[in-house]
Amino acid sequence: MPKGGPDGGDGGRGASIFFEASLNIQTLLDFRYKREYEGGRGEHGMGSDCYGRKADDVVLMVPVGTVVTSDDSEVEADLSEHGQRIMVAKGGTGGLGNIHFKSSTRQAPRMATSGQLGEERELKLELKVLSDVGLVGFPNAGKSSLLSVMTAATPKVANYPFTTLTPQLGVIDSEERFIIADIPGLIPGAHQNLGLGHKFLRHVSRSSLLLYVVSFDRDWGLEENYQKLRLELQLFDHHLLERNSLICINKIDLLEDSSIEEEVREEWKKQYEEFMAAHPGSVGISALHRTNLAALQKSLSAGLLSNANAVLDCA
């Protein structure tokens, strides 16, 4: 009514943008094709003390294991659990209606404030593998072959470096079902990002148990092979050496392969005996001939159970 009191309501707030982790989402592919997301604006305030309706928030679903990094390389969130949600851009606030500017000397103010813009941010999304067991080894150690014979996974297998360029996952169904990941082959210098090393090494940090896979080589001994692997992990993140781990020596069928010079085979047998003595609990296998896979699977199950018990003890 004319000369009536102030009755202008506030504007509604703008939409905030969230990321939410979901086990139903497997990749970040959608974000490759659509890179910009915008929240809606709130409704204007109206007379008769009617406040504007707030805009609906925008929730973007991402796979479990997504790491959100800001443009200055700071980690915003590590979405490692289903349903975990984080706000990454806060919506703007609505403007104030004239009801807020009433005073004893100004009974019918004709003023209001404009709303504030919401946040605008650039973020990087990276998906890290979440697995119970991560296979760690140099190229041609036979990790992909091992994964294929222990699980239903069908990784590409060939005899050249970097056969595996993306982590491959497989499921082992035993008394306890667990996921095993073939982390792409490392090379010496991976901690300095040689051969896409950082991309590969980051996946290792998401495995509960590490399985070092070493095999016979004409240039390196078994112990040297194993220590080089550990060095790469240490120089990338020394905490990885504290991770529960097992060792398997693949390709033990070569010890009886008559096509290989006897002198070489005898040297490898000596290395094998010394390595097994120095690292009790290691398992010698042949992925090619499926030798000792049951023993390896039993050791992996025991290692994962040990991890679970340690977590319970700390809780």
Dump the DSSP string for 97-151: PGGGG--SS-SS-----PPPP-----EEEEE---EEEEEE--TTSSHHHHHHHHS
Decide which of 104, 127, 150 is a domain's last residue.
127
Contact criterion met (CB below 8 Å) for 187 and 138:
yes
Same domain for 160 and 110, yes or no, is no
Does 2 map to a domain?
no
109 and 152 belong to one structural domain: no
Helix, strand, coil share of the chain (percent; to 5) = 30, 20, 50
Alpha carbons 244 and 257: distance in angstroms, whole number: 33
Examine the domain organization and report whether 38 and 140 are in the same domain.
no
- When computed from its CA atoms, the radius of gyration of the chain, rounded to whole angstroms, is 29
Work out how many domains the chain is built from and give that number.
2
- Could you tell me if residue 11 is inside a domain? no
242 and 202 within one domain: yes
Q: What is the pLDDT of residues 240-259, one digit of tens each?
A: 888 899 999 999 999 999 99
CA distance 124 to 28: 11
> How far is the CA of 250 from the CAs of 68, 220, 257, 289, in angstroms?
37, 14, 14, 10
Examine residue 3 and state whether it is found in any structural domain, yes or no.
no
Per-chain mean pLDDT for the chain: 76
Clarify whether residues 122 and 135 are in a common domain. no
Residue 196, domain CATH? 3.40.50.300
Residues 71 and 53 in one domain: yes
Phi-psi region of 253 (alpha: psi -120 to 50; beta: other; left: phi over 0): alpha
* DSSP string of 54-92, one letter each residue: PPPPEEEEEETTEEEEETTS-EEEEE-STT-EEEEEPPP
Q: What angle do CA 265, 271, 275 make, to 5 degrees?
A: 145
Q: Is 265 exposed, middle or buried (0-12, 13-18, 19+ CB in 10 A)?
A: middle
- Do 94 and 170 reside in the same domain of the chain? no
Q: Which tens digit of pLDDT belongs to each residue from 54-99?
A: 778 889 998 888 889 887 778 888 887 888 999 988 877 655 544 5
Establish if 195 belongs to a structural domain. yes
Same-domain check for residues 204 and 267: yes
Q: What is the pTM of this model?
A: 0.63
Query: Which of 127, 158, 176 finishes a domain?
Result: 127
Is 10 a member of any domain?
Answer: no
| CA-to-CA separations, 28 to 64, 197, 201, 259, in angstroms, rounded | 10, 21, 19, 47
Amino acid occupying residue 175: E
Better-scored residue on pLDDT, 97 or 205: 205
Indicate whether 154 and 225 sit together in one domain: yes
What pLDDT does 313 receive? 44
Higher pLDDT, 279 or 107: 279
Structural domain harbouring 123: 17-127
Residue 174: pLDDT above 80?
A: no
Angle, in degrees to the nearest 10, between helices 293-314 and 143-150 = 90
210 and 285 inside one domain: yes
Indicate whether 312 pLDDT > 60.
no
Last residue of a domain, one of 127, 161, 191: 127
Is the pLDDT score of 5 beyond 60? no
| Structural domain contains residue 65 | yes
Please give the angle made by the CA atoms of 271, 276 and 279, to the nearest 5 degrees.
Answer: 120
Distance in angstroms (rounded) separating the CA atoms of residues 181 and 21 = 20
State how far Cα 200 lies from the chain centre. Answer: 11
Residue 308: partners with Cβ closer than 8 Å, 6 or more residues away: none
145 with 291, same domain: the answer is yes
Select from 212, 172, 210 the least CA-distant residue to 298.
172
pLDDT at 116: 66
CATH number for the domain spanning 46: value is 2.70.210.12
Instruction: Tell me if 7 is assigned to some domain.
Output: no
Same domain, 242 and 175: yes
Q: What is d(CA 233, CA 30) in angstroms, rounded to the nearest whole number?
A: 32
In a domain, 5, yes or no: no
pLDDT value at 106 more than 70 = no
